[in-house]
């Protein structure tokens, strides 16, 4: 059973992501940047762990709700080797530290709030992703 993408499902997904980001900001005064939230779990500051754990568990809970509603998870097709995916994961992690955040923090929250640094960071994320795909598909493969 493969999922079907439609403008309606994309719109609903965007609304849910935006609503979650707004709720976290209003309820906790925090930006919904996943790399910063997960990174904060590693620093283990007292009193700052509970909401981060709840956020990460909520990400997993969303997948479980999807699984329960559909009766199966969506199909994944990996187009890269495990080694390439590991290197890519480390590069993404390095990039989020270098860029002071990730696409959720900058792209969803920062752009939504009109932060100029987030707009520039998101533009750079997208441009680097496009060049990376081009190089990987045209040069490496």
Q: What is the 3-state secondary structure of the chain?
A: CCCCCCHHHHHHHHHHHHHHHHHHHHHHCCCCCHHHHHHHHHHCCCCCCHHHHHHHHHHHHHHHHHHHHHCCCCCCCCCCCHHHHHHHHHHHHHHHHHCCCCHHHHHHHHHHCCCHHHHHHHHHHHHHHHHHHHHHHHHHC
Verify that 61 and 126 share a domain, yes or no. no
Verify that 88 and 46 share a domain, yes or no. no
The percent of residues in the chain predicted with pLDDT above 90, rounded, is 16
Q: What average pLDDT does the segment 37-45 reach?
A: 84
Is the pLDDT at 74 greater than 80? The verdict is no
Verify that 65 and 14 share a domain, yes or no. yes
Q: How many domains does the chain have?
A: 2
Verify that 85 and 139 share a domain, yes or no. yes
Give the model's pLDDT for residue 75: 76
Domain residues for 125? Answer: 79-141
Give the model's pLDDT for residue 71: 79
Q: What is the pLDDT of residues 97-141, one digit of tens each?
A: 888 888 888 888 888 889 999 999 999 989 988 998 899 888 876
Verify that 38 and 67 share a domain, yes or no. yes
Is the pLDDT at 63 greater than 50? The verdict is yes
Give the model's pLDDT for residue 117: 92
Verify that 46 and 8 share a domain, yes or no. yes
Give the model's pLDDT for residue 91: 87
Verify that 136 and 101 share a domain, yes or no. yes
Verify that 2 and 57 share a domain, yes or no. yes
pTM of the full predicted structure? Answer: 0.73
Verify that 42 and 110 share a domain, yes or no. no
Q: What average pLDDT does the segment 55-64 reach?
A: 89
Greater model confidence, 56 or 63 = 56
Verify that 10 and 31 share a domain, yes or no. yes
Confidence of residue 79 (pLDDT cuts 50, 70, 90): confident
């Amino acid at each position: 059973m493969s999922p079907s993408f439609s403008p309606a499902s994309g719109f609903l997904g965007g609304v849910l992501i935006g609503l979650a980001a707004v709720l976290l900001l209003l309820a906790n005064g925090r930006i919904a940047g996943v790399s910063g939230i997960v990174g904060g779990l590693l620093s283990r500051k007292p009193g700052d762990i509970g909401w981060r754990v709840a956020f990460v568990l909520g990400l997993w809970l969303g997948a479980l709700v999807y699984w329960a509603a559909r009766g199966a998870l969506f199909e994944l097709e990996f187009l890269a080797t495990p080694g390439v995916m590991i290197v890519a994961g480390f590069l993404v992690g390095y990039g989020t530290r270098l860029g002071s955040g990730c696409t959720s923090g900058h792209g969803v929250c920062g752009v939504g709030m009109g932060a100029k640094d987030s707009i520039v960071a998101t533009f750079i994320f997208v441009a680097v992703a496009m060049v990376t795909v081009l190089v990987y598909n045209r040069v490496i493969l």
